[in-house]
């Protein structure tokens, strides 16, 4: 008599995930008792559907704000100066169109300080990252979160503050033919200082000489700051707080052997090694969400009242490059993932 070996494809119901969402895994079971879990087919280099929605909010905000300004602002009554990149205060179409508005002066101008405070408050208070308020407890998750923050901060410094001399924003302006325009009323004094002023290598030095940028392409530093800062806060907080499958388990990673797997294989389940269930909305989360939401609002105001379409677009592109390096490259490169990790994993 011949014994036939049969293979049956079955659906195995698993216990609810840490986020409360039931998981079902397709497997192949044989009469030998061995079970094989099918690997996800999605690419580790691409965002999940929920991440796509989150990321799409940014270009949507820039387009909506720019269209709103184009359709509602009377350019005759409120002329926009491309030299100063702003409206004259007495003719500004809105309070938020004035550079002196309180949100621009005390929030956007000090934006990285607010983002840093919110980030650190979240990292050192959310229980999914380590003991609350214990700044000496550097758990793996906490160290990796700080590493991600360090890399994003390095991008911010290079783009807007210093990059082996002038920052990338100012270098780009000079490379596209820009220079510092003298604005002195005394023509003789202007001729004497013109040579030095034109050679000012940074926006700050230009203003110090009484001039303004003119003639080049100015990547929007405000758009870069507001996009990269708020997106970093969303990426860090949402997976740990919400625990939605689309933000945690739905992510794909590439293992050392080149196999694409679900990020769930590297997620420490609640209760393991003393890590509590990561569904806690404390002051750290509230502060993070407040700063991120305020950044989104000021991004809309920047889109509506400052910079040209192309300047806003390039600011968004540069910010997207920084975010991709920190939050997506580690999924496809195990060596980078060991250093930077992934939020919520």
| Percent with pLDDT over 70 in the chain | 75
For the stretch 33-71, pLDDT in tens is: 333 344 445 789 999 888 899 999 999 999 999 999 999
pLDDT of 122 above 70: yes
Q: What are the structural domain ranges in the chain?
A: 49-73+98-164+218-269+281-340
DSSP letter (8 states) at residue 26: E
Identity of the highest mean pLDDT range in 11-15, 92-96, 186-190: 92-96
What mean pLDDT do residues 179-197 have? 55
Give the pair of three-digit tokens for residue 193: 């200082």
pLDDT of 146 above 50: yes
What mean pLDDT do residues 109-135 have? 90
What mean pLDDT do residues 255-267 have? 83
H/E segment holding residue 232: helix 221-242
List CB contacts of 317: < 8 A, sequence separation 6 or more.
none
CA 340: distance to chain centroid?
A: 15
d(CA 47, CA 250): 9
CA 259: distance to chain centroid?
A: 28
In this prediction, residue 191 carries a pLDDT of 46
Q: Is 307 noted as a catalytic residue in this protein? A: yes
d(CA 316, CA 313): 5
In this prediction, residue 7 carries a pLDDT of 39
Q: Is 91 noted as a catalytic residue in this protein? A: no
pLDDT of 295 above 70: yes
What mean pLDDT do residues 207-225 have? 85
What mean pLDDT do residues 311-326 have? 97
Give the pair of three-digit tokens for residue 173: 């302006």
In this prediction, residue 248 carries a pLDDT of 62
pLDDT tier at 282, thresholds 50, 70, 90:
confident
H/E segment holding residue 261: strand 260-262
In this prediction, residue 84 carries a pLDDT of 72
In this prediction, residue 9 carries a pLDDT of 38
What mean pLDDT do residues 224-245 have? 85
* Farthest CA pair distance, the chain: 110
In this prediction, residue 192 carries a pLDDT of 46
What mean pLDDT do residues 200-213 have? 76
In this prediction, residue 49 carries a pLDDT of 86
Q: What is the mean pLDDT of the chain?
A: 80
In this prediction, residue 38 carries a pLDDT of 43
The pTM assigned to this predicted structure is 0.81
pLDDT of 99 above 50: yes
Identity of the highest mean pLDDT range in 100-104, 308-312, 315-319: 315-319
In this prediction, residue 328 carries a pLDDT of 95
| Percent with pLDDT over 90 in the chain | 46
What mean pLDDT do residues 300-306 have? 95
In a 3-state reduction of DSSP, which class is residue 137? coil
């Amino acid at each position: 008599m011949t014994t036939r070996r049969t293979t049956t494809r079955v659906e195995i119901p698993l216990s609810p995930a840490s986020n409360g969402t039931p998981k079902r895994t397709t497997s192949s079971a044989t009469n030998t008792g061995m079970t094989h879990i099918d690997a996800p087919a999605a690419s580790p280099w691409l965002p999940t559907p929920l991440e796509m929605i989150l990321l799409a909010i940014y270009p949507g905000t820039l387009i909506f704000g720019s269209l709103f300004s184009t359709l509602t602002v009377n350019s005759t009554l409120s002329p926009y100066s491309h030299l100063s990149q702003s409206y004259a205060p007495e003719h500004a179409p809105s309070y938020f169109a004035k550079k002196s508005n309180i949100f621009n002066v005390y929030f956007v101008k000090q934006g990285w300080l607010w983002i840093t405070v919110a980030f650190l408050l979240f990292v050192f208070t959310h229980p999914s990252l380590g003991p609350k308020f214990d700044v000496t407890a550097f758990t793996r998750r906490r160290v990796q979160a700080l590493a991600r923050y360090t890399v994003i901060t390095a991008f911010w410094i290079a783009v807007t503050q210093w990059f082996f001399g002038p920052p990338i924003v100012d270098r780009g302006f000079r490379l596209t033919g820009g220079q510092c325009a003298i604005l002195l009323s005394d023509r003789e004094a202007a001729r004497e200082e013109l040579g030095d002023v034109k050679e000012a290598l940074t926006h700050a030095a230009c203003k110090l000489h009484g001039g303004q940028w003119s003639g080049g392409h100015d990547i929007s530093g405000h758009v870069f700051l507001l996009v990269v800062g708020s997106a970093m806060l969303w990426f860090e907080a949402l997976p740990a707080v919400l625990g939605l499958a689309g933000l945690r388990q739905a992510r794909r990673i590439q293992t050392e052997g080149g196999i694409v797997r679900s990020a769930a294989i590297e997620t420490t389940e609640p209760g393991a090694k003393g890590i509590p269930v990561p569904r806690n909305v404390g002051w750290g989360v509230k502060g993070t969400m407040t700063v991120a939401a305020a950044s989104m609002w000021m991004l809309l105001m920047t889109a509506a009242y400052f910079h040209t379409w192309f300047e806003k677009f390039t600011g968004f592109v540069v910010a997207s490059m920084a975010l991709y390096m920190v939050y997506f490259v580690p999924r496809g490169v195990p060596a980078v993932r060991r250093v930077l990790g992934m939020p919520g994993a």
